[in-house]
Structure 1
Amino acid sequence: MPRFSANLGFLFTEHSDVDRVAAAAAAGFKAVEMHWPYHVPAAEMHRVLVRSQMTMLGLNTPIGNAAAGDFGLGALPGRETEFHQVLDQAVSYGSAIGATAVHCMAGVVPADAVATAERTFIANLRAAADKAAQAGMTILIEPINHRDRPGYFLHSVEQAASVIAQVERRNVKIMFDCYHTQIMQGDLTRRLKEYLGLIGHVQIAAVPSRAEPDEGEIDYREICRTLDKLGYDGWIGAEYKPRGRTEDGLGWLSTWSRNQFPSSSRGDAA
């Protein structure tokens, strides 16, 4: 049976960051994930999570200098010191709030620097994995599509698997975002089957709209069936941009959480 988590970077934005946790719990979610919650004191976030009986799955490393075009630092040569600073921040904060994983964002790199970026990313991930292991946490890496984030270093599942093989740390896993992977590669079912052992988290959103998962070209009912058949025991993160008020678009959650996948009123996916 699928278990769905709410990504509070996109969902329940009608509420403050702290109040989003309670809103997600009231809507029926049992776990949440966040992008960059660092402006909320860790002690306060932990109290809210405990009060709501909510599991915190993961958070992202800070992106660096957004004004300069940064979207992560993990694969950026020459900025290793900055990466270790944001990694320390993420692991420390995540540990304090009970998070289970940190997504190490690779960053945007020029096409002529890919080889150097890969070496940098591998070295940084080894250090990140060792630090996360001390806190009992997993490191996630996520392929991100080039339509939304041109030049992002990590952009395919196969590339992520190759990086993990070279990092040689058991607590480094793939965050398999179906939205990004469909845009860049497609063939989701085969890739889920082939790389299941390396997948630490799954995320969903409609393609191409990135709205609720009950529309678009991906049949997420079939994705859920496939994950069940494969024995996937992790969470499926709802990381989408709601068409309107978050609560008004959650019809899919009550149905899919019961492992019921009727024909979609929005049409079947191709």
Structure 2
Amino acid sequence: MKFSVCVEALFSGKDFYESLKTVKDLGLDNIEFWSWWNKDIKRIKHEVDSLGLNVAAFCTGFISLTDPQKRDEYVEFLKKSIEVAKELGCKFLISQVGDELEGVSREDQHNSIVDGLKVCAPMLEEEGITLVIEPLNTHVNHKGYYLYSSHEAFEIVDKVGSGNVKVLYDIYHQQIMEGNLISTIRNNIDKIGYFHAAGNPGRNELYYGEINYMEVLKAIRETGYNGYIGLEYFPKDDVKKGLEMLKNL
């Protein structure tokens, strides 16, 4: 199990490229970020290679999968994201699925997501890249977003039927929406390709709030999961202090 630093969250408002150096100085080797299309990919490649960092994940375009009329646009952007991932040696792409559509049944939107991901699966399999779809909370941060249930996300992954399409289980978001974290993780670890973590409430360091991360991370380790835990929080304390506390987890 490896920690990955979400650069735009932990270093919000700071220079992206300078922050890469800080991550390495603080003793971590894996980074992730949100959007690639507003960044200099060649510079990122140069910086991570020079520093010995690994790009664990980044997002593909925020294009709706709930709307079948936007499917072609989603697929074309994913193709571009895959090329960027190959350039950076990145094996995970993060995808949101879009907002809930007014006047359209949830069943139809669910089926649209499944059908769209089935189109994407062969190209992901060919390139050895895993797309992780992310359920988000709709109470605090993402009102109107379609996919708030981890269980629906697991159902979608089952229907797509590809080892290269999995769920990004964000512990912060799912604590807000569902709770029952450890049981859900244990029962569905085969469908989880990536984790995100933040304290709740507040979305700060893991040692703030109601989530017992010592027990949650212990349970994840016990499943045999050896992938990434993405640190996607907004620091309340000095970044160094927050990252040093990870040694206790």
After TM superposition, the structure 1 = structure 2 runs for residues 68-217 of structure 1, keeping only pairs within 5 Å, are 72-110=63-101, 112-113=103-104, 114-147=106-139, 148-217=141-210
Deviates more, 1:244-253 or 1:103-112: 244-253
Task: Give the one of 199, 217, 222 matched to 1:224.
Answer: 217
The Cα offsets for residues 190-214 of structure 1, whole Å up to 9 and x where unpaired, read as 0010001111111110111100111
Question: What amino acid is the match of 1:60?
Answer: C
Distance 2:18 2:125 in 1: 30
**SS of equivalent to 2:96:** coil
Aligned Cα root-mean-square deviation (Å) = 1.6
Contact 2:94–2:131, Cα closer than 8 Å, also in 1: yes
- 2:25 is matched with 26
Q: Is the 8 A contact 1:13 1:20 kept in 2?
A: no
Gaps of 5+ in 1: 64-71, 257-270
CA distance in 1, matches of 2:27, 2:13: 17
**Any conservation in 2 of the 1:122–1:163 contact (CA below 8 Å)?**
yes
| % identical equivalent positions | 24
Q: Which has more helix, going by share of residues? A: 2
Inter-partner Cα distance in structure 1 for 2:4 and 2:150: 22
Give the CA deviation at 1:78: 1.4
Query: Retained in 2: the 8 A contact 1:111–1:151?
Result: no
Deviation digits for residues 214-268 of structure 1 (CA, Å, limit 9, x no counterpart)? 1100000111111122211111111101115433433312333xxxxxxxxxxxx
Q: Is the 8 A contact 1:77 1:116 kept in 2?
A: no
Alignment TM-score, normalising by the size of structure 2: 0.93
Deviates more, 1:122-131 or 1:137-146: 122-131
User: How far, CA to CA, are the matches of 2:79 and 2:143 in structure 1?
Assistant: 27
Which amino acid in 2 is paired with 1:230?
A: T
Q: Is the contact made by 2:131 and 2:166 (CA closer than 8 Å) also made in structure 1? A: yes
Shift, 1:111, TM fit: 5.4
Could you tell me how far apart the structure 1 residues matched to 2:155 and 2:14 are? 40
Task: Classify 1:163/1:18 alpha carbon distance in 2 versus 1 (closer, same or farther; 3 Å).
Answer: same
Matched residue SS, 2:68: coil
Unpaired runs of at least 5, structure 2 = none
> Could you state the TM-score of these two structures normalised by the residue count of structure 1?
0.86
The letter of the residue matching 2:169 is F
CA contact (8 A) 1:74 1:107 kept: yes
Runs of 4+ residues over 6 Å off in structure 1? none
1:40 is matched with 39
Measure the CA separation in 2 of the matches of 1:46 and 1:129: 26
Query: Which residue is equivalent to 1:4?
Result: 3
What amino acid maps onto 2:226 in structure 1?
A: D
- The structure-2 alpha-carbon separation of the partners of 1:208 and 1:111, relative to structure 1 and needing over 3 Å to count, comes to farther
Which residue identity does 2:119 align to in structure 1? A
